Amino acid sequence: AAGAAAVPGTAVLGRGGRAWADVTAPPPFSVPLSLPEVAVPVRRTATTDYYDMTIRHGAAEILPGVSTPIMGYEGRFPGPTIRAEAGRRVVVRQTNAMMHETVVHLHGGLVAPGQDGHPADSIAPGAYREYVYDNRQPSATLWYHDHSHHMEAEMVFRGLAGFYLVGDRRERRLGLPSGRYDVPLMLRDARFDEQGRLLFEMDDFRYRNTLLVNGRPQPYMKVDGRKYRLRLLNGSNERYFTLRLGEGDGDAMTVIASDGGLLPAPVTATSITLSPAERVDVVVDFSRYRPGTRVVLHNADGTDEATTGVMRFDVGHRVPDLSRVPERLGHARDLGEAVVTRDIEMKLDLSIGAFVIDGKTFDMDRVDTKIKRGETEIWRVHNRDVRPSVPHNFHVHGTHFQVLDRNGQPVTGHEAGRKDTVAVPIGGDVRLKVRFDRYLGRYLYHCHLLDHSSMGMMAQAEVIG
């Protein structure tokens, strides 16, 4: 952009004729939202959809007028959205065209251990791996992302993440907003250097002060005056979002789904907290606003203009709307009587400068917990980091758990649905009912503040027969 005016967000020619850049984020809500492209199968059979993806270095226009080097599935930031159908198999051939090893994890997928993206199963540069996903699970908002040994924080930060949406017949019969009124929104933060390059430093969350939605900084979206389904994913490494729509205490959002899929019944919320990797699907009826209204999705955890405004919805004219939110949505049966209770401790171990679970950093050759297939256990997960206070959350691969309580208080709203990731309060605990019903083998559990997991806060369970 030689000769361009010194507008924030554009590269300019600086003093002495040397190119330098002055890249900052644009003003809030000045950039249109974009939607990740939907992946197209290369082949379809009666039972299976086949996809080919290349994992590569690429460039993305994240800040307007600036080309940012990224790592991306298909070179995209974020990666293409895979739309799967429950009961139909998806096979994704992932070719690694990068100089680094990578491995792809389907977050929230109830898949066999060998398909789950264990860091031991990495794809060498130049090699490929075929992931087989059976999709034997109800409709849900999942995502896929890198899970490289000690590297997931940096590689996800640089772009290796995309949506994976499971649909099913039951859900379609409900009449929820669909098609272009079903919008995936990947929320995250980022940090850029003066040249607009993503700047990754381990655990420097205080400096990641640019908010992105689907890879655009604090975008706006034009919406019709009708109902939308918004699939909100916190794709940040470490940032929590407390989301409120509109001004003041927040306008009502109808929560219909959590990590594991549809809630038994819709619940109304004015404020929703998402720790990293959590998802919530909400239905928002924009017909309740006058055309021309601008409705900001706020982050109540933000500290300034750059971190409080997530995105803005610019409401247009009312349009006919046949969608609805029925009184009954999905099911979530109780996971039954527990036969084993365990305590799991998450802690920053200052003596070794590492994040640990039960006193140990991750070792992929060690099994930390054995759990019998089909047996329900209660896991009480503690966050021992009071001084210094460090937030943690807890993610389990290969299953969806039931959250019983946090600090003894029953959880409500989306947290009462099936989950795979849950916030663990500082100095407190969360109790989960966990059961693995399907495959034998090893599944990871870890903190999903990815800088913590990359620094060791990860362990594995072996499901035994």
- Note the helical H segments in 285-324: 305-308
Could you give the dihedral angle defined by the CA atoms of residues 413, 419, 420 and 426, in that order, rounded to the nearest 10 degrees? Answer: 40
153 binds Cu ion (CB under 5 A): no
Q: Which of 444, 449, 459, 463 binds ligand C2O (CB under 6 A)?
A: 444
Query: Quick one: which of 397, 414, 435, 452 contacts ligand C2O (CB under 6 A)?
Result: 397
Does residue 395 bind ligand C2O (CB under 6 A)? yes
CB of 9 to Cu ion, least distance (A): 33
- State in angstroms the smallest separation of the CB of 144 from ligand C2O: 9
Hey, what are 49's tokens? 């959809």
User: Within its chain, how far is the Cα of 403 from the centroid?
Assistant: 19
214/453 with CB nearer ligand C2O: 453
With binding defined as CB under 5 A, does residue 414 bind Cu ion?
no
Beta-bridge mates of residue 142: 164
Nearer to ligand C2O, 147 or 231 (CB): 147
Cα angle 40, 43, 49 (rounded to 5 degrees) comes to: 75
Contact of residue 147 among Cu ion, ligand C2O, none (CB under 5-8 Å per partner type): ligand C2O
Instruction: Determine, following the binding rule CB under 6 A, whether residue 107 of this chain makes contact with ligand C2O.
Output: yes
Q: Out of ligand C2O, Cu ion, none, which partner does residue 92 contact, by CB within 5 to 8 A per kind? A: none
Q: Which two tokens stand for residue 292?
A: 């021309």
Stretch that binds ligand C2O, among 68-76, 171-179, 260-268, 443-451 (CB under 6 A): 443-451
State in angstroms the smallest separation of the CB of 432 from Cu ion: 16
Distance CA 411, CA 30 (A): 37
Longest pairwise C-alpha distance within the chain: 74
Residue number with CB closer to ligand C2O (33 or 458): 458
Site for Cu ion (CB under 5 A): which residue of 147, 392, 414, 435? 392
382 lies in the binding site for Cu ion (CB under 5 A)? no
- The residue number with the shortest CB distance to ligand C2O is 107
Helix, coil or strand: residue 193 = coil
452 binds, among ligand C2O, Cu ion, none (CB under 5 to 8 A by kind): Cu ion
Q: Between residues 105 and 435, which has the closer beta carbon with respect to ligand C2O?
A: 105
- The C-alpha R_g of the chain, in whole angstroms, comes to 22
Q: Which residue has the tokens 């198999």?
A: 89
Q: Count CB atoms within 10 A of the CB of residue 318.
A: 15
Q: Which stretch binds ligand C2O (CB under 6 A): 123-131, 203-211, 220-228, 441-449?
A: 441-449
Facing residues of 449 across strands? none
Does position 188 interact with ligand C2O (CB under 6 A)? The reply is no
Partner touching 382 among ligand C2O, Cu ion, none, CB below 5 to 8 Å by kind? none
Residue 312's binding partner out of ligand C2O, Cu ion, none, with CB under 5 to 8 Å set by partner kind: none
d(CA 173, CA 170): 5
What's the residue count for the chain? 465
- Give, in degrees to the nearest 5, the angle at Cα 117 between 112 and 122: 130
* Calpha distance 90→108 (Å, rounded): 15
Q: Which one of 58, 452, 455, 463 is in contact with Cu ion (CB under 5 A)?
A: 452
- What are the backbone angles phi and psi of residue 401, rounded to the nearest 5°? -105, 175
Q: Does 277 bind ligand C2O (CB under 6 A)?
A: yes
Tell me: does residue 129 bind ligand C2O (CB under 6 A): no
- In one letter, which amino acid is 360? K
Q: Provide the 8-state DSSP code for 251.
A: B
Q: How far apart are CA 197 and CA 192, in angstroms?
A: 5
Q: What does the binding site for ligand C2O look like in residue numbers (CB under 6 A)?
A: 105, 107, 145, 147, 277, 395, 397, 444, 446, 448
